[in-house]
Amino acid sequence: MEHVFARVPREVLYARTGIQVLPFNTIFQLYAHERMQPGELAQAHRLLLIPDLLHSWLCGALVTERTNATTTQCWDPVARRWATDLLERLAIPTSMLPPVVEAGTVLGEVLPELRDDLGAMRVITPATHDTGSAIAAAPVSLPGGWGYISSGTWSLVGVELQRPVVTPEAMTANWTNEGGVFGTTRFLKNVMGLWLLQECQRRWAREDRATDYDTLLADVDAIPPFAALIDPDDPRFLAPEDMPDAINAYLLEHGQAKLQAPASFARCIMESLVLRYREVLRQVGQISGTAINGVHVLGGGSRNTRLNQWLADALDIPVIAGPYEATAYGNALMQLVGLGELHNLGEVRAIAQNAPTQVFSPRTAGRTAWDEAAQR
C-alpha cells in the first residue's frame, strides 16, 4: 500500500474513488502483480471479476457490472467511469478494463452447450456485489431516511444515497461509497458481525461443549445486562485461534472480569455489536446528512430476534428484520428488471415489500441503560 501512496497520495486515492482503503482492494492487487511480474498485465485481454467470469462462461460476455466495479478502487464514482488516469500513474495497463454495465442488463444468450443443463436462455446480470443485491431487496416503506445492516458473519452498515460522499470527514471516518442498483450509492462501513459468536461456538465444539444456537440465545436472558463489553472491531478478533480466550484477554486488559458461561459470551458479543451499530449509524447520519427513521436488517443475522430488539431499543427507532435471503431476493428482482417486468427502483421495492419481515418497535424501558453503556 505504501508503494501506491508514494505515487498516488492516500487522500487523492479516496477523493477520486470514494472507497475505504483496504489492503485487499483490487487496485493494490494489480499494482503488486505489476511490480512482481512486470509486463504481464499488458498481455491481458480483459480483467474480469469473479461474477463477470461466471457470466463469460455462461454466455461469452466480457463485461463488468457496476456495483462490483465500484469496490475495486479503480472506479471514479462521480464521473462513473474507470479511473484510468490513476491506474496510469501506477503503471497499471488500462486496455484490459472491460465495458461496464448496469444491474438488470441482458448480457446475451446462454451458450448452446449449456442450455439443456441449465434450462435457461438468457443471462441477466444482477447487482454482482452481494451486498448490492441485498440492499436492492430492502422492503422499504418508511417515510424519510432509513439505514441498513447487511447482517451475517460480517456487518455492512450504511445508508442508500443518490450520490457519493467523498469528503475529508468521510475519509477520516473510513466510510466507503459502493455502487447500488439504478445508479444509487451504498454509503457504508464494514463492521464486525456474528463471526465473533460463530468462532466461539466453533471453539466450544472442539472442546465438546457444543451449544445449540437457539438454546444459547435463550440462555442469554438469564445473564445480567452489560456485565462485559468489547470493541467488536478490535483487530485481535479477526482470526484468533481461540475466540473466547481473545475476548477474555480484551476484557482483562480493559479492567473487566473474565467470562465463563457460553451465554455470558453471547450476551457480551450481542450487546457490544448493538452499541457499535448504534455508533456507526449515528455517524453515517451526521456525515451523509441523513435523518434515519428506521433500520432494515437484512441477511442471516435478521433471524436473531434479541439482537434486533436490542438494536431498536438502543436506537429508539423501528428495526425491520428480513428478508433472510436478501441477496437471492435482490438477484431475482433484478432478473425481473432485465426481463422488462420491472422498470425502476420504486417498482423493485414495491415487490420487495412482499418479503417476510418482522418489525421490532423500540421499548422505553431500558433506554437509559443503553445510553449509559455507550459511554463506557
Q: Looking at the annotation, which residues are catalytic?
A: 130
Phi-psi map region of 316: left, alpha, beta (phi>0 left; psi -120 to 50 alpha): left
What does DSSP say about strands 292-298 and 145-151: parallel, antiparallel, or unpaired? parallel
Phi, psi (degrees; rounded to nearest 5) at 219: -70, -20
Cell of 178: 459502493
